Amino acid sequence: MPAKLSAIDTAKFVAAKRACEFVEDGMRVGLGTGSTAAWLVRCLGELVEDGLKITGVPTSIRTAELARDVGISVTTLDEAKWLDLTIDGADEYDPELNLIKGGGGALLQEKIVATASDRMIVIADRTKQVETLGAFPLPVEVIPFGWQTTKALLEETIAALDVMGDKVTLRMDGNAPYITDEGNHILDLHLGRIGNARQMALVLNQIPGVVENGLFIDICDIVVTGNGNGRVQVKDINNGSSSEDVIEFDEDENLFADLGD
């Protein structure tokens, strides 16, 4: 049996478990990428094993592989066309449920899938909640051609915006640049604080060479936040509701202890 879960793993697990309650039989569900989203995929896999019928649209190659491994039927967004729900993690979220995403390198597919859904639910632990976005480096996906020119344009642009820092770094994978599923690079913007996230999102996408940025503005509908003691908060931005409950589970039967960061 796996060892006792850490507080952070417990928080991710209970958030994922609670988010599964929004999934209904027959739904087409966008499946996010990252360590927290992986817990969701495993939880959904258990429900599928018990008879739940859903179709998953993964946001990355690795999520697709995990979904198939746990028995979830997988299709493409082109085949599904529109989704009932997308559930994904986040690197940061603010009180208005605006997000920074892309720490796992899948921001482009994640944003496309999320915006092709009736609702987006974010699952997170308490550390992802912030008053102002920007402490987590903001990922920007860029095409490889002329990326250094794109980097210089980004540096020039953010220097004129309401931020605390203006450092831009190329994301690496060992000694080579990180390559996204679409064959692009990621430039991480170390901003410290983003004074106007909406303006930032619009301005960044006007720069030649930029494919997409990791700011998710007015996309997320619900955030499910897990805590290390098993408590879960659910905040719905559309109806202004907020609720809290406790997720009970038998840790000795937990199969997810290998899904930490």
CA-nearest of 110, 127, 124 to 33 is 110
CB 170, CB 151: distance < 8 Å:
yes
Angle made by CA atoms 21, 25, 31, in degrees to the nearest 5: 65
The response to whether 26 counts as a known ligand-binding position is no
What letter does residue 231 receive in the DSSP assignment? E
Query: Two tokens at 199?
Result: 């303006």
Beta partners for residue 57, in sequence order: 30
CA separation for the pair 87, 117 (Å, rounded): 10
Sequence letter at residue 179: I
H/E stretch holding 11: helix 7-19
The response to whether 34 counts as a known ligand-binding position is yes
CB 168, CB 213: distance < 8 Å:
no
CA separation for the pair 101, 120 (Å, rounded): 13
3-state secondary structure at position 212:
strand
The response to whether 104 counts as a known ligand-binding position is yes
The response to whether 90 counts as a known ligand-binding position is yes
Question: Which positions are catalytic?
Answer: 110
The response to whether 128 counts as a known ligand-binding position is yes
The response to whether 102 counts as a known ligand-binding position is yes
The response to whether 89 counts as a known ligand-binding position is yes
The response to whether 71 counts as a known ligand-binding position is no
CB-based contacts of 252, cutoff 8 Å, min separation 6: 1
CA-nearest of 73, 212, 77 to 139 is 212
3-state secondary structure at position 184:
coil
The response to whether 35 counts as a known ligand-binding position is yes
Give burial (CB, 10 Å; 0-12/13-18/19+) of 126. Answer: middle
Q: Which residues are annotated as a binding site?
A: 33-36, 88-91, 101-104, 128
Q: List the binding residues for substrate.
A: 33-36, 88-91, 101-104, 128
